[in-house]
Amino acid sequence: MRPPIKPTVLSLALLLAACASTRDSEFKENVSEANFKLGVGYMQSGHLDVATEKLLKALQYNDNYPEAHNAIAVLYEELREYGPAETHFKRAIELKPDYTLARLNYARLLCTREPVRTAEGESEFQKIAADPANAGATAADAHAGLGLCARRRNDPAQAETWLRKALEQNPNNTTALYEMAELSQTQGKALQGRAFLQRYHAQTRPTPQSLWLGVTIESSPDGDPLLRREYGVVLTSQFPNSDEARRLKQPQ
């Protein structure tokens, strides 16, 4: 007959098991966080394939990581895989209901990528803007988003109202600055468009889209040929494989 297990031995075994479980959990969280940081870094440097691999690995080790879900949703949106993008934005918000960045990103997705759901996106932006906890820069982001939505449904007057409100709350809001530059260009206001685009470039690195917008603005009758040439040089040198650079090289 086997002797009974002493309580002290049983307690020690349970303690060791708990410690092992804790170590395993900590290991998985550390690996997940490391891959998350690598993934974001690769996204920022434009290596999207590697970024996807790292972010998926982060979620493999910890599926309850809202920041990783938000990051890979942004990545999927960049890759124009809008279904997975929406799934991961929703998961991020489910895990962390007060995750304002994910809510802003999801609302933007609805407005810009899903035309039939623009009203849903605007509703999300309105909720964020109306929340007293979201003041300053966050409120500016929400109003900039509302301006973007209004542009998507072809309401330039309402768009300008929201975008200017965003800039009142945060004069350096890059979304509002870019949208105002583009809106000004479509309205034939080259000087105003130039000013907004220059303010945009003072806050963030140029993109193929922003450089092409500069080329377009400076190609108008009120444009500056020297500035147009500068935008073109930067576009073809920094982003030679972009659609915008190829468009610039086409015969006019």
- Residue 204 DSSP symbol: S
The whole-angstrom separation of Cα 224 and Cα 196 is 15
Question: Which residues contact residue 161 at a Cβ distance below 8 angstroms, ignoring those fewer than 6 apart?
Answer: 147
The whole-angstrom separation of Cα 185 and Cα 169 is 23
pLDDT interval class at 186 (50, 70, 90): very high
Mean pLDDT of 110-132: 87
- Give Cα separations from 194 to 179, 204, 228, 235, 241 (angstroms): 12, 15, 11, 17, 25
Question: Which residues contact residue 212 at a Cβ distance below 8 angstroms, ignoring those fewer than 6 apart?
Answer: 231, 235, 244, 247, 248
pLDDT over 80 (residue 162):
yes
pLDDT over 60 (residue 180):
yes
pLDDT, tens only, 40-74: 998 888 888 999 999 999 999 999 999 999 999 99
Which of 131, 124, 113 has its CA nearest to residue 73?
A: 113
Contact (CB, 8 A) for 89 and 77:
no
pLDDT at residue number 112: 84
pLDDT over 60 (residue 252):
no
- Residue 73 DSSP symbol: H
Question: Which residues contact residue 15 at a Cβ distance below 8 angstroms, ignoring those fewer than 6 apart?
Answer: none
pLDDT over 60 (residue 5):
no
What percent of the chain shows pLDDT beyond 70? 89
pLDDT over 60 (residue 7):
no
pLDDT at residue number 70: 96
pLDDT interval class at 16 (50, 70, 90): low
CATH for 172-252 (3.40.630.10, 2.40.270.10, 1.25.40.10, 3.10.580.10): 1.25.40.10
> How many CB atoms neighbour CB 143 within 10 A?
27
pLDDT interval class at 110 (50, 70, 90): very high
